[in-house]
Amino acid sequence: MLGMSGRALSFGVVAEAYERFRPGYPPTLFDMVMAYARQPVRTALEIGAGTGKATRLFAQGGVAVTATEPDAAMLAELRRHVPAEVEIRQAAFEDLRPGERYGLVYAAAALHWTNPEGRWPRMAGLLEPGGVFASFGGPIRLADPAVRKAVRGARAPFLDSDEIPSPDGTPAGHEMQWPGTELRRSGRFVDVRQSVIERRLTMSAGDYVGLLSTISAYLELPIARQEQAYRRIMQVLPETVEIAADITVHLARRRSEQ
């Protein structure tokens, strides 16, 4: 079983698949973050940038982005896809030292890989007073209940679930999900908000299995078991599948008096 840091770095072995199969982020997300900020956001720091899908969204919106990512393979893929003006650093969140501060710090489906110890004091230290923190992501689920059930059965010999449980144990039905729960408790942030951008996508069965090959639960399996799982899932899928890929967005503002 990989530890948390091992799971985070496991994505590097599938960097090309991550870029090909993971959906990007819509302009609606950029607009939501900018509206919340209430003032122009000129600089941003991204934590766990992966192959740069969120980097592109904010850089194309005119924000000067510094993209950080610990995995060299992910960074190599990122460099191929982001504008030249993006500053790129190979670093984990825990390696970042407060000093330079940003108007926005954000994590795209990456915050749960960071060390919870000291997470929020460190995060606040990277932000300008009144600066914005944003975290966004969410599970990608099959929209059709019958297909979902068939895949669950095919997957059962290998995995009970392919989703990441809430890092702080917040129940799924709670009105505020993680990391909003931690942000509220931290004492470092105010105006914590949670929103959902609903999204439905259609993809081929092969692309859906390609997407599964980028999910940490599968990457933890031995290669032979992974391949068996993908074959079994492929056998029960229709030619195309609809997926629910809603994006849950958490926004918060650094306390000005810090």
User: What domains lie within the chain, and their CATH numbers?
Assistant: 4-140+166-200+245-254 (3.40.50.150)
Is the model's pLDDT at 2 over the cut of 70?
A: no
Task: Give CA–CA dist 61/66, Å, rounded.
Answer: 14
- Please name every residue paired with 127 in a beta bridge, in sequence order, or none if there are none: 102
Please state the rounded mean pLDDT for residues 131-146: 97
Is the model's pLDDT at 221 over the cut of 90?
A: yes
Integer-rounded Cα Rg, in Å, for the chain is 18
Is the model's pLDDT at 117 over the cut of 80?
A: yes
pTM: 0.92
Task: Give 113-116's long-range contacts (Cβ < 8 A, gap of 24+).
Answer: 113/4, 113/5, 113/7, 113/8, 113/48, 114/47, 114/48, 115/4, 116/167, 116/182
Give the Cβ contact number of residue 38 at 10 Å.
Answer: 10
Cα-flanking dihedrals φ and ψ of residue 160, to 5°?
A: -75, -40
Contact partners, residue 202, CB within 8 Å, separation at least 6: 240, 241, 242, 243
Please state the rounded mean pLDDT for residues 196-201: 97
Let me know how long the chain is: 258
For 157-194, the pLDDT digits (tens) are 999 999 988 999 999 889 999 999 999 999 999 999 99
Is the model's pLDDT at 77 over the cut of 50?
A: yes
